[in-house]
Every structure is written in structure tokens, then in C-alpha cells.
Chain A
Amino acid sequence: MSALLEVSGISKSFDGFKAINNLSFSINAVELRAVIGPNGAGKTTFMDIVTGKTRPDSGEVLWGTTSKSLLKLSEAQIAREGIGRKFQRPTVFEDQSVADNLIMALKADRSPFAVLGWRPTAASQDRVIELATEVGLADQLPRLAGELSHGQKQWLEIGMLLASDPRLLLVDEPAAGMTLAEREQTTTLLCRLAETRAVVVVEHDMDFVRRLNCKVTVLHQGSVLAEGSLDHVTRNPDVIDVYLGR
């Protein structure tokens, strides 16, 4: 099986601080992966580079079977290639209804004039209802997204990610601020999503990572410190050093 995303030897420094240092990472088309690491390990910068928000100083990011370089593409183009990103804070468009939020995320031509000519169809209507049902917001469709609770906003954002049907999903600390029940729901959803696509979960919380039961990549000072099952990496002396201190 070939890799869906192949990140090789990227480095990025901000004003002399090396946020990412010769980092390599690869993920298969169908895989769930957790990325863990202490604060400042470069997790967010890593996601920024993959999604095009930040350009690395050196290295290469290759995508898909054709090994297309992502470094020349804009954020929007990368998103259209099929890389979805879930932010740590729920970012939904609070001024608009749940339905409008979902409609915007639906798979469709994104160019201004195509959007101008877009009209709702029976299929799009059904898809919106289907997505809303999946994330438990079916009865909230006409409500403004800003009126939803924190957890509901998280779910709406996940619904929006599902709507665009990405091939690779980058999820930043999904469990933050969630109740125990919500965490379990999220775990189930992430595992189910990973049955048909690649999912990268960046997480602080070891408990949550254990629940995901997947391969783990440990980042430290901008490069990969260890990789393998959670039990494997937690036995690694370097990892113990980083997490527990010398």
C-alpha cells in the first residue's frame, strides 16, 4: 500500500526558533494515527505545513498516488485536494444557520461563479439532513450555529468535515472541553471515519489516545522521537525522558 501523504525532511524556523526540525512522516490511505508530544513539540506547525498555512524552509510534502507536491498550492487548493482540518476551538459560522453551515461544506465546485449559480437540489437537501442526523443535530437545522452549545458546535464542525468528504482528516485536540460521554462518541466516530480514509489526531490527552488504539507518533522539538503502538512508545526511554523529565 502506498502512502497517501509523504512528508520528508521538512524544517521550519521562526526567528531562529526551530519549530520543525528535519521531520518526516507518512500515512496510508486508510489509517488512524495519533500524534502526541509536549507543548512546543511542533504539532500545530506540522498541521499548518500540511494544510498550506505555513511554508517550510526546506523539505517536501507529497500527496496521493501521483505524489503531487503540496508546497506550491494555496490553503484552498489543498483543501480541495481532500485534506480537511478540524481546529481545536470549534470554528463554525455563528451568524448562519446550521443548515447553511453544512451547505457551505458540501462537496461542490468552489469557484465564485459556480457558487453564484448553485441551487439546492433534493439530493443536497437529503445530504444535509443525513449529515445533521449523523452528528445529532437533525432538529437544529434552522437554528443559528452561534446558539448551539460548545459540544454541539464541535459536532457541527465534524459534520462540516464529513460533508466535504476529505481523504485525509487532520484533527486538533478533539477531546478538549468534552464530557466523558462526548469523548466516547468522538472516539467511536474517529475510528469509524478511519475505516474509509486517513485520520491524524493530534492530542495531548494520553487516555484519549489509548482509547483510539492506533499507531502513535511522538514529536519532540520539531522531529519524530518515536513511532509505534502506544505501549511501544511509552516504554521508549527517550519518550519517558521527555514526558517525565530527566
Chain B
Amino acid sequence: MTRTPFILRNPSVLAMLAVLAVLTLAVTLTSQAYGTGALPTSTVKILGMTLCLALAAVAMDLVWGYLGILSLGQMAFFALGGYMIGQWLMYARTETIVAAQLAQSPIPATPQEVQDAVTNQIFGVVGSSDLPMAWSFAHSLPLQLLLVVAVPGLLALVFGWLAFRSRVNGVYLSILTQAMTLALALWLFQNDSGFRGNNGLSGLQNLPGMEGVDQATLSVWFLWASAAALALFYVLAAWLVSGKFGSVTRAIRDDETRVRFLGYPVEGFKLVVFTLAAMITAIAGALYYPQAGIINPAEMMPIASIYLAVWVAIGGRGRLYGAVIGAVVVSLLSSWFTGGRARRSTCRDTWSTGSTGGRCCWACPLFWSRCSRPRGSPGCST
């Protein structure tokens, strides 16, 4: 017998793709680089970053809404993805600048001299002159791109294996994930961690080798890339949860013990979804930080991951489009309330519970949870 194609069985996927296409087209046509110029470059960047956050929310929904793991450390993967791409962006750009400076000296610089000069440039700020081990591949874009998914993926795999194997569940697991992101942030805050401590990585908005391209054009390129990534992984996620695999993950969410007695290796399923979600989140981060221009360890403080959970909760967990809507609406609202800046202000200053934005953010989930209980509401272990 023939089955209706996947897309036709899931009209919401088609709708999401259409909305993304229209948004991308509209932004392109009003951008300063390719269109009328009505939309400032900063707004294009905010929109592009918002799409990345929406992608992180989709991954969060896979883990929380469909698998039942309330991970409060997802943004660790997001920031790790950002750090991995940031290493290359910063290293390659510094290398270009340093090479240009050294070219003016009468004696040509050796590769070692170039590397030393680059190291001094990057790590002078934390008083170090050795290139840390973690930067061994920073000169190579393909290798750093590989690390974007490999490092967070491996972290998720090891963390997940240890946690799921010992059957840590519910609140305890949430606390563990939060401890993971906090520990990682605290480690990165140290100057000798090899990632420039609390200075983080900066100047990420400049693409090495593309010095001739202005920010207006780059911002549109990144918006396209972000929209494409969101579209691709949205379809992948929708496909993942639509079939028998999705059935089993939702069954694990609702009654893990019963799934074990059906013969399914529950830990294996959790590991696959958790690791995949970590990789998707990392890709979102790798697209986000070049648009943000700067990354520092504050980005992976637990509060960021909690916001991610809040967005998914507001959109209604267990629905992929809900995650996207929640992330887009709340993060754009927060940008608006906090004066046109994107989420980065969440971790600091204005986005506290005292501000208008803060109040709104706390009020929304309270309001929503009263009028509509999302499917598979938290703590449903009936």
C-alpha cells in the first residue's frame, strides 16, 4: 500500500516552510544590501539571531516536549557551537591582520613568527603567550566546523550516558543539566581555560577572507543561512517525531518503565535524541554568534537555558511550531522592551523581573498555564 508523503501528512511543516520563505524574501527585499533599505542592518541581524534561537527551541522541544527530559543546560551546547566557530573566526581574522603587518618588515616572517604574533594578539589580554591546545585546529575552517557538532555532541553523549544509565530522572536530571552548564561557564570564566576568560571571543561579525563584503550584505547572508538551518532541522525534527520513533519517544516521556517492559532500550533512545538535539543546538549557536559578534561565558549561565525552556513552555511543548512561535515572540518582545537589543541582554541588566519585559515574561507562562494546558503537561506520570 502507498502512504501519503510525509509533508502532506504534516501540514504544519508546510506552513512553517512557507512562513520562513516569505519572511526571508521580505527581509531580503527590504534589506540595505539587496532591497529598498527600509530595514536597518541591525534589525536584519536581530531577525537572523531570532531564527537561531527558534532552532534551539525546536531542539529543546525534541528533548523536553517529546522525550520528557527537562534539560536546563541546552544553551551550553548553543554557546559551545558559538565558541567553536568563534575560534576560527577570531584566529583567521587575526592571522590576516598580523600577516599584513609583518609583510611590511624587511625580513619575511616565518610561519612560527606569524603564529606567535597571532597568539600574542588573541591571548595578550589574559596574559598568556602560548597557543592553548584547544586552538590547535583554529586555523582550519573545516575542522572547526566539524568541532561545532563534535564537541557538543560528545559532551551530550558522555553526560547522557552517565545520567541515563544511572536512571536519573525528573527534577534531579534537570538539576544535573543545570550544573553541567554552570560548571562549563565557570570553567570558561577562568583566564587559563584557553578561551580568553570573561573577555570571550569578539569581532566574530567579520568573516575572514571576506573583508570586502560589508555588514549589510553579511547580515542578509546569515539570515538566509539561519532560515535554511531552521527549515532543514524543523523538517528533520518533524520527520523524527512523526513515525514510530516519535511514538516511542512520547511513550518514554509518559511512562518510561512500561516502554522498558515492551523491550525498548530506553537509554539508547534518550541518548540518540539528547545528542542529536545538542548538535542541532550547537549549529544554531554557530550561526547565532557570528551575527551577535561576541561570545563570552555569561552566555551559558543557567538563566539562558531557563529562558529557552520558558519559550518552549509558552509556545506549548510537544508541538514543534509552538517552540518556534514561543521563541520568536518572546525573544522579539524582549528585544523590543529592552530597546532593540536581541536576547543578549537577558543575562544582564534590563531583563530582570523588575522590568516591563521581565514582568511580561513571567506573567505569560502563568497566564497560559491557566487557560490552556499543553499536551503532555509537566509532571504527567499518570
Contacts and interface: CB of A to CB of B under 8 A. Distances in A.
B and A form one assembly: yes
Interface of A: 51, 53, 74-77, 79-80, 84-85, 87, 91, 93-96, 100, 103-105, 110-113, 115-116, 118-120, 122, 125, 160, 164
Given A110-B265, A118-B243, A79 B248 contact: no
Contact-residue bracket for chain B: 20 to 34
Contact of B247 (A103, A125, A164): A103
A68 to B, nearest CB: 16
Nearest to B273: A112
B245 A93 contact: no
Contacts of B266: 76
Contacts of A96: 247, 250-251
B263 interface: yes
A116 to B, nearest CB: 5
B264 A93 contact: no
Contacts of B262: 79, 104-105, 110, 160, 164
B221 interface: no
Interface stretch (B136-144, B253-261, B286-294): B253-261
Nearest to B247: A100
Contact of A95 (B254, B260, B263, B268): B254
Interface of B: 1, 3, 240, 243-245, 247-248, 250-251, 254-255, 257-258, 260-266, 268-269, 271-272, 375-376, 382
Contacts of A93: 247, 250-251, 254-255, 258
14 contacts: A51-B261, A75-B260, A84-B261, A93-B255, A95-B376, A96-B250, A96-B251, A103-B247, A104-B248, A110-B265, A115-B245, A116-B240, A118-B244, A118-B245
A94 B254 contact: yes
A112 B268 contact: yes
Contact of A111 (B1, B243, B268): B268
Given A93-B251, A94-B254, A111-B268, A76 B263 contact: yes
Counting chain A CB atoms within 10 Å of each CB, the highest count among B262, B375, B382 belongs to B262
B250 A76 contact: no
B4 to A, nearest CB: 12
A112 B272 contact: yes
B263 A79 contact: yes
A76 B1 contact: no
Contacts of A125: 1
Contacts of A53: 257
Counting chain B CB atoms within 10 Å of each CB, the highest count among A76, A87, A125 belongs to A76
A75 B261 contact: yes
A74 B257 CA distance: 12
Given A96-B247, A96-B250, A79 B260 contact: yes
Contacts of B258: 87, 91, 93
A224 to B, nearest CB: 25
A43 B376 CA distance: 33
Contacts of B247: 93, 96, 100, 103-104
Contact of A110 (B255, B263, B271): B263
A166 to B, nearest CB: 9
B250 A95 contact: yes
A160 B259 CA distance: 12
A103 B244 CA distance: 8
A110 B264 contact: yes
A95 B248 contact: no
- Give 6 closest A-B pairs by Cβ, nearest first: A79-B263, A75-B260, A80-B263, A112-B272, A93-B251, A118-B244
Given A75-B260, A76-B266, A160-B262, A122 B1 contact: yes
A132 B264 CA distance: 22
B375 A95 contact: yes
A98 to B, nearest CB: 12
Nearest to A104: B247
B261 A85 contact: yes
Counting chain B CB atoms within 10 Å of each CB, the highest count among A76, A112, A118, A160 belongs to A112
B378 to A, nearest CB: 14
